[in-house]
Structure 1
């Protein structure tokens, strides 16, 4: 019998992504974000959640998509992201959050290395749920190239 992992599914543009539920702390409605001077384009700024500051990453910008205005469906996902052997609290802005879903390990395959729209280096795999494909993020690799600005923002 295959092991089943739980993923939070979210929508960005027309694509479906998954984040391992182990890293998800909470999901928030969109709220004002305090901007940081000289921050990279993907780093929207900081928010306060119960006295703790979290850098907020625009996943659209991080994935090379154009930025859009928030809608009623826009959410901030607070995550514990593994970075350089420690855990960093980070918020991701997603267009939509759908549900937590289980994916059997045998329904997940490695990301195809075909170039194109998504860089396969931050994709842990591709899961299948019915007819839909879910691109599963490797959070550490997604954030690894940008850990210096994130760590500086978190320390601020």
Structure 2
């Protein structure tokens, strides 16, 4: 019996692999300067303009409660369309690196553990497998709307 698969963009942050449903991904950009916004939260790096459309740019590391790092040649800005507080919103997220688009079987995706896990379960849509590796798939709407860091032991 075969299950239908869904496509996810896999990306790296710190030493972990995360997945974003490809339906939310609009474009992947090389890292570029961001125009800072005064009094923005620490995770909001600022704004960029892409073909006349403004995108707020979020540092996923900071949003997740990880230590920020300097951009490298592999750093990318992923442009997403996400529903935030009931409204479709264009957002850019900075990832350490982008790996590939891969298929994960939603029927075989595991729920996030409620206790003992590194990540807050309410920000996770599921945990998939690619071979022997785990891919943490975030619930983007909850992650973008939430104020608490996704990493449990973050301040």
TM-score when scaled to structure 2? Answer: 0.91
Question: What pairs with 1:34-73 in structure 2 (closer than 5 Å)?
Answer: 34-73=35-74
* Partner in structure 2 of residue 104 of structure 1: 105
* Partner in structure 2 of residue 119 of structure 1: 120
Distance 2:116 2:49 in 1: 37
Distance 2:128 2:146 in 1: 25
Q: Which runs of 4+ in 1 moved over 4 A?
A: none
- Quote how far apart the aligned CAs of 1:115 are: 4.4
* Partner in structure 2 of residue 151 of structure 1: none
TM-score when scaled to structure 1? Answer: 0.90
The one-character-per-residue Cα deviations of 1:31-80 (angstroms, maximum 9, x if unpaired) are: 00000000000000000100111000000001101100000000000000
* Partner in structure 1 of residue 152 of structure 2: none
| Greater fraction of residues in helix | 1
- Quote how far apart the aligned CAs of 1:84 are: 2.4
Pairing 1:32–2:33 present: yes
